[in-house]
Structure 1
Amino acid sequence: IFSPDGQTIATASQDNTVRLWNLQGKELAKLQHSSSVSSVSFSPDGKTIATASEDNTVRLWNLQGEELAQLQHSNWVSSVSFSPDGQTIATDSQDNTVRLWNLQGEELAKLQHFGSVSSVIFSPDGQTIATASQDNTVRLWNLQGEEVAKLQHSGSVSSVSFSPDGQTIATASDDNTARLWNVHIQEVRKLKGDFGDGNRGSFSPDGKTFITINCEEKTACLWNLQGEELAKLKHSGSVISVSFSPDGQTVATATFNDTAHLWNLQGKELAKLPHSGYLTLHRGNWITRVSFSPDSKTVATASEDNTVRLWNLQGKELTKLQGHSEPVTQISFSPDGQTVATGSLDNTAHLWNLQGKELAKLQHSDLVDSVSFSPDGKTIATTASYDKTAHLWNLQGKELAKLQGHSEPVTKISFSPDGKTVATGSGDNTVRLWNLQGKELAKIQHSSWVNSVSFSPDGQTLATASGDNTTLLWELGLDSLLTRACAGLKDYLQFNPNVADEDRRLCD
């Protein structure tokens, strides 16, 4: 993980160590445990690192790798986290406790459960800790370790979360209920149903509305923070997906019986979108294809009839995007919401405007796995499963570049934050960097397939991870890249008879 200022990277390993690195890849420190490391966390100011291990300890370190404190549990420690102000550390362990510590390593409190702790979270203001446990309870504590309240379920509690404003607590349990509680620790209501994906609650973006689903009863329910049911959204098939629009004013639901619905926060059905086949079974995964535009005013749905349709929030079909010959698996709006990109099992991606005019057909030789826009929305990147390429396109559908050079499928693709560089990772054990003209800037070698490529927030460092159990850091400053590239190309440019005269002095 990167430190908050992006200048230091911490990597954890099953070799019982955490190592700190600078952006030049120089190892700053090796932090030694006597067993595998399970969790690493930087303090908010980036000056302290906390590491948790199966050796039953948490250790605090400074950036020079000096051990500041050793925090002892009686069983292995599964996670460690800092409070929002960075002054308190919470650790949870398989010894059924959560412990609070200050930065000097002094134990402030031991928070006791009677079963394994599954979740620990600080409130947004950092004044309350919520812990969830297999003892069927959630307990709330102040920073002095005093138990403020015990929230009782009849089954193991799998998660606990605060609303964004910290005024409401949501809990989910194996007793098949979700419950909302106010900050005065009164149970507002027992909410029947599941929390949706990951057994978690879904708050609206403003934190004022909560949604649950119940597959067996074929309903989704909206609740306010007082626990009052705003609406029961009844369907004729099991509800498998719910999502809020970006502005939080509209809810989209998708079901197994191939319908999608739009609702307002009062539970009024705005539209039933008469489209068939909202799910596609792709490589063993069901793909739900309902997507909001960035301004929340348009909804795109994809169907087994190989079309995508655009709708307004009143359910009026604005246009039908017709041109694919197989089901659509990907829908993406450009950042400004004016262009829609779709990817399909028919080996193509298409670009459309909001009037349904096809701007371009982007051809691959295998099914399209991903379609994404650059941060400025001016470039589209597409990848296909087994044709071993990535493609860059402009908004007019002109192919800017075919990123060709990998000898195995492209597994990851990422734009730099400024949108000017693309990194691709592949099963051929390499990461390659490209400019928007498709010129390969660098080839980075691993000894196994690449499973992650990630730019630092300032775009100056690339982190790559591989099946060879290494994470590598690469300096991506333009001057550095040009120096390294020209070091390898200068003689080629100068002496190769096939190089044009105007290109021979590119590195001068």
Structure 2
Amino acid sequence: MKDNKQLAGPRRDTIETFEGHENTILAIATFPDGERIATGSRDKTIRIWRLEDGRETKKWGVKMIIGALVISRDGKQVVSSEGPELGDDEDDDEDKVLSRFYQWQLWVRDAETGRVVAGPLDGHTNSVFALDVSLDGSILASGSADRRVILWDTTTWRRNGDPLLCGAPIACVRFSPAGHGQLGIATDKYIQIWALDRRERLAQIKGHTNYNGSCNLSLSWTRDGARLLSAGNNYDPVIRSWDTSTWEQVGDPWSGHDADQHIYRIILNPAGTLVASASSDNTVRLWQLSTGTEVARYEHSDDVLRVAFSVDGRFVFSGGLDKKISQWEIPDDLLTTARGDPLSGRLKIETTSFNSPHKHQRQASAARGKQKARVYISQSMYILTVNQNLKSHLVVCGFMITTSMFLRHF
């Protein structure tokens, strides 16, 4: 039963709703141009929405439900996992039910036309609700209830080596932003960290499983890769922070979501200072990363399954069982606080060109001594991404730019 107790974060009103889906929303992804979002639903559609006015600009009907979505780093492709809704036919015998698990596939579509450019990508033998793209855009990771993560080359859309065998159903996959080629994986039993170049499991902890036999549902790295945040199901509905050098828990768990409710998704904002969480207690909560304090909450009428930040970090998008996407504005005072958080390192930024593929971004170079990196600066003055590969040791991570440029560098 959902708890209606008064909570720490003040309620905030929605500023926009995106309506049109006819069933549960299972996926939200933002385009790097900052102008659009993509959503996927149990209604067997992928929809593209224009943020300027909330208008649905594209609707692609597919044959099965959408389990997850991710946008390519250049914004040109939409990748989806699609599969059958189990229980559609109550009279199915066991063989038919089992055969459905093998029908989960990945599809790659042109973001403008919806044309299939790759797929179906076969390989998983159970549902796929976890997708992520590496920072350089060269690898897609897909995690499945079949207990495996498959890595895909995004140029050829063929498998990149053998699958990662994780030993338990997978709920979330997240590439580390630290540029060391590491992948975080949340499973029913463990949180695992893998080195992709060696296909080696570097660490494994029980995470939320240590607490009342909970499951690990979602992960989010801090921008410097020094900590990994995790969220648990209804047996441990809190956010926990883990030191990635020792894999010990840092501080107390972040509590606030109602007891006996799942935290389905957590995500860090582009500035690396705020965390959003989506829960079956009908709320999205906003947390200060530096303190683990709840600073705002946004209320839906039903379970919230997915949450995402806008590219400029000023808005939160969320959706779930209420079949609509809600857009929430982050209060100015929280953005001001985010700007004032301590950052490490300073890089000199020299604008060298303006040929970014997105009109809301400017391409620039960042340098410290002999080390250089290419970054994209959004119109709202956030660092968005960095050109790098899995072996790169120079990483620039996103922080709001004020009068001078402070960046994490390691």
**Structure with the larger strand share:** 1
Q: Which has the higher contact order (CA 8 A, sep 6+)?
A: 2
Q: TM-score, normalised by structure 2?
A: 0.41
Q: Radius of gyration: which is bigger?
A: 1
How does the TM-score come out when normalised to structure 1? 0.34
